[in-house]
């Protein structure tokens, strides 16, 4: 009888352990996402930690969809290369354009942004591309605005720069008449690097959605997780609160 009792006890214990393990949530998967190390208000480093609109948005989405994000911060010209050397599985934020859709798959948009012209203060914001006909316009060579400007701004004297700081500096120094940059990022960097010397744009000459991107045909599972999280934070209002906090300042 004692033997049978011990056996029943072990069976009951194993059953209880199985039930307990079944209730444990699955371990959260970690995904590596690369982004530029200085791209405020989307991404910036404060006190050694990455912060910004993109960080808050993706961390909130990850919490809803049971995954974790490890942000890989790199210089502007290295972001896309992290997908090739394995440092990252995805990159963010990347504007969704027809040209990029040929080589990248995108998540649902995480924010809406666009291109704007930055000119020396107190000159007013150019209202159209034709207002800059014959003028020197600079923009980062790897940015999403290059194809748009090459196609729609043929009257411009387009000059490609290494990054945002170089583009803004050329306008301030008089080497260029305008810089075509992301509206939010350009405004933030202009205020930080050249306070009072550039006119904050009043309009955007083109609007585009930004998203998480992976190489074409790769990491569909990753995009599914991101999309699930984005849908959740849009649905409960968290997405709007995060955008208001960062872009309403």
What are the strands, taking DSSP E only, across 96-243?
104-106, 111-118, 136-140, 157-161, 178-182, 206-215
Q: What is the domain-level CATH number for residue 102? A: 3.40.190.10
For the segment 99-121, the average pLDDT, to the nearest whole number, is 95
Q: Please state, in angstroms and rounded to a whole number, the distance separating the CA atoms of residues 178 and 119.
A: 5
**144 and 214 belong to one structural domain:** no
Question: Any alpha helices (H) in 66-181, and if so which ranges?
Answer: 82-85, 145-152, 164-172
18 in any annotated domain? no
Residue range 216-247, pLDDT digits in tens: 999 999 999 999 999 999 999 999 999 889 87
pTM for this predicted structure:
0.76
- The pLDDT of residue 24 is 47
**34 and 151 belong to one structural domain:** no
- Structural domains in the chain (count): 2
Task: Report the relative pairing of strands 29-36 and 90-95 from DSSP bridges.
Answer: parallel
**124 and 156 belong to one structural domain:** yes
**239 and 198 belong to one structural domain:** no
Residue range 2-17, pLDDT digits in tens: 555 566 656 555 555 5
226 in any annotated domain? yes
**135 and 197 belong to one structural domain:** yes
For the segment 45-61, the average pLDDT, to the nearest whole number, is 93
Which element (helix H / strand E) includes 70? strand 67-74
65 in any annotated domain? yes
Q: What are the angstrom distances between the C-alpha of 47 and each of 37, 74, 173, 199, 200? A: 13, 17, 31, 30, 28
Residue 173 domain boundaries: 113-207
> Using alpha carbons only, what angle is made at residue 72 by residues 166 and 228, rounded to the nearest 5 degrees?
115
Computed on alpha carbons and rounded to an integer, the radius of gyration of the chain in Å comes to: 24
201 in any annotated domain? yes
Q: What are the angstrom distances between the C-alpha of 50 and each of 35, 167, 190, 234? A: 10, 24, 20, 23
Q: Please state, in angstroms and rounded to a whole number, the distance separating the CA atoms of residues 158 and 224.
A: 38
Residue range 60-71, pLDDT digits in tens: 999 999 999 999
**232 and 221 belong to one structural domain:** yes
**118 and 104 belong to one structural domain:** no
Q: How many CA atoms lie within 13 Å of 30's alpha carbon, on the beta-carbon side?
A: 5
């Amino acid at each position: 009888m004692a033997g049978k009792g011990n056996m029943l006890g072990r069976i009951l214990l194993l059953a209880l352990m199985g039930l307990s393990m079944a209730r444990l949530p699955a371990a959260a998967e970690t995904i590596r996402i690369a982004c530029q190390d200085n791209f405020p208000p989307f991404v910036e480093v404060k006190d050694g930690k990455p912060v910004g609109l993109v960080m808050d948005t993706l961390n909130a989405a990850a919490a809803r969809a049971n995954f974790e994000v490890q942000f890989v911060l790199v210089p502007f010209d290295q972001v896309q290369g992290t997908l090739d050397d394995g440092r990252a599985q995805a990159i963010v934020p990347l504007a969704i354009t027809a040209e990029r859709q040929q080589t990248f798959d995108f998540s649902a948009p995480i924010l809406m942004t666009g291109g704007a012209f930055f000119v020396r203060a107190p000159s007013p914001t150019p209202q159209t591309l034709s207002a800059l006909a014959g003028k020197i316009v600079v923009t980062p060579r790897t940015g999403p605005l290059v194809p748009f400007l090459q196609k729609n701004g043929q009257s411009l004297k387009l000059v490609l720069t290494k990054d945002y700081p170089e583009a803004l500096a050329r306008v301030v120094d008089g080497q260029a008449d305008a810089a075509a940059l992301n509206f939010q990022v350009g405004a933030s960097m202009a205020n930080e690097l050249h306070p009072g010397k550039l006119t904050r744009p009043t309009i955007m000459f083109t609007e585009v959605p930004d998203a998480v991107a992976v190489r074409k045909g790769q990491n569909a599972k990753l995009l599914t997780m991101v999309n699930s999280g984005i849908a959740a934070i849009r649905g409960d209002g968290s997405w709007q609160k995060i955008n208001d906090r960062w872009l309403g300042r």
